[in-house]
Homo-oligomer: A and B are copies of this chain.
Amino acid sequence: MLIVMKSAASGEEIQAVIERVQSAGARSHLVRGEEVAVIGAIGDREHVARLGLEGSPGVDSVVPILKPYKLASSEVRQGERSVLEIGGRRVGGEHFALVAGPCTVESRDQTLATARIVKDAGAMFLRGGAYKPRTSPYAFQGLGEAGLRILAEAKAETGMPIVTELMDVRDLEPVLAVADVIQIGARNMQNYTLLTEVGRAGCPVMIKRGLSSTLEELLMAAEYVLKEGNENVLLCERGIRTFETAYRFTLDLTAVPVLKQLSHLPVIVDPSHAAGRRDLVEPLSLAPAAAGADGIIVEVHPAPDEAICDGPQALHCDDFARFAAKLDQVAAIAGKRIGAAA
């Protein structure tokens, strides 16, 4: 950590900061420039972080040098990328993960029909929500355990591993019984008790970036899971909130290459929730594939017009095979293939 002093800081103020640093068990290192002095604080990062020097007399700003996450960082693996093995599928490296399925599990028929179609088109994982976080308390909140049973049936029939969301720690047990990947939604990205519990459960976790969360905060959320010894974490970019109102969220494509530099964890993109409109899902799927994403998670419905939730953003089942083939072509240029042989 570097403490930049004001140009008007007195010698006493500089000395006081040095003493604070040393009292925290860190070494200090003073560099005097022509206009300002800078003090480096070297030592245990948690102790140094706790110094709280921002408000102190003579201090202009405090610049953190070390990244606050460790286990999620690319340094921890010396730059080698994680390839996760989940339900017999690999994610990361040359393996482009195509996760597809309905937004919400509405019925046995809808879910099984969708599962069969996306499987035939090459999807590797089936997504589907039994618990739905809804902005309105009056909206449909998901089928709950009945929905989980339908997902279990789809898994039994198609063999596809299941990605499904957990919202409430009290539902952990039934979700664990079905899920191959537990999804933490954007609104719960900083629900630390939930992150800690899924970390302990050991099940693979896909963490969606919060609508206004920085990449550093996303990696800190991953750190909560990793710290419990659970190494199977997928990061998911799903659009951020900006000033633009011409579409729902702004897909942050730059997050893909930047996350891959900062972290060894695979990076998935959700074009459906970012766009909120079917016609944008294809370009917003091909773009991350070209940019090196490790997969996408996309919504598909046999009859989007009748979907209970988010129908306008679901791809039509009968267009899905064409979509998947084009996606595979683009992923290939970036050195990946959908479902590359495990």
Contact flags A33-48 to B (C-beta < 8 A → 1, else 0): 1111010101100100
Q: Which of A275-294 contact B (CB under 8 A)?
A: 275-280, 283-284, 286-292
A120 CB-CB contact with B under 8 Å = no
Whether B55 contacts A277 by the Cβ 8 Å rule is yes
Residues of B within 8 A of A140 (CB): 50
A253 CB-CB contact with B under 8 Å = yes
A136-B220, A287-B291 given as contacts; is B54 within 8 A of A312 (CB)?
yes
Give the number of copies in the complex: 4
Please pick, from B35, B220, B280, the residue contacting A137 in the complex, using a CB distance under 8 A.
B220
Q: Which of A241-260 contact B (CB under 8 A)?
A: 241-247, 250-258
Residues of B within 8 A of A29 (CB): 31
A153 CB-CB contact with B under 8 Å = no
Q: Which one of A108-116, A121-129, A208-216 is at the interface?
A: A208-216
Contact flags A183-196 to B (C-beta < 8 A → 1, else 0): 00001101111001
Residue of chain B at shortest CB distance from A44 = B34
Whether B274 contacts A254 by the Cβ 8 Å rule is yes
Residues of B within 8 A of A305 (CB): 20, 52, 56
A252-B250, A287-B288 given as contacts; is B65 within 8 A of A36 (CB)?
yes
Whether B55 contacts A311 by the Cβ 8 Å rule is yes
A322 CB-CB contact with B under 8 Å = no
A329 CB-CB contact with B under 8 Å = yes
Closest Cβ of chain B to A55, distance in Å, is 4
Please pick, from B193, B241, B274, B290, the residue contacting A286 in the complex, using a CB distance under 8 A.
B290
Closest Cβ of chain B to A262, distance in Å, is 8
Closest Cβ of chain B to A230, distance in Å, is 12
Residues of B within 8 A of A68 (CB): 135-136, 138
Residues of B within 8 A of A330 (CB): 290, 330, 333
Residues of B within 8 A of A255 (CB): 244, 246
A253-B251, A286-B334 given as contacts; is B304 within 8 A of A8 (CB)?
no
Contact flags A296-310 to B (C-beta < 8 A → 1, else 0): 000000001101101
Beyond A50-B308, A135-B217, A169-B169, 9 additional pairs, beta carbon < 8 A: A6-B75, A29-B31, A31-B31, A63-B63, A133-B190, A214-B246, A253-B284, A283-B292, A287-B287
Contact surface of A with B, Cβ cutoff 8 Å? 2, 4, 6-8, 20, 29, 31, 33-36, 38, 40, 42-43, 46, 49-50, 52-56, 63, 65-66, 68, 75, 78-79, 133-140, 167-170, 187-188, 190-193, 196, 210-212, 214-217, 220, 223-224, 227, 240-247, 250-258, 261-262, 274-280, 283-284, 286-292, 304-305, 307-308, 310-313, 326, 329-330, 333-334
CB pairs A–B below 8 angstroms (12 shown): A8-B78, A50-B139, A50-B140, A52-B311, A53-B312, A68-B138, A134-B192, A214-B243, A246-B258, A247-B254, A256-B283, A283-B292
Q: Which A-B residue pairs are the 4 nearest by beta carbons? A: A212-B212, A55-B312, A283-B291, A187-B190
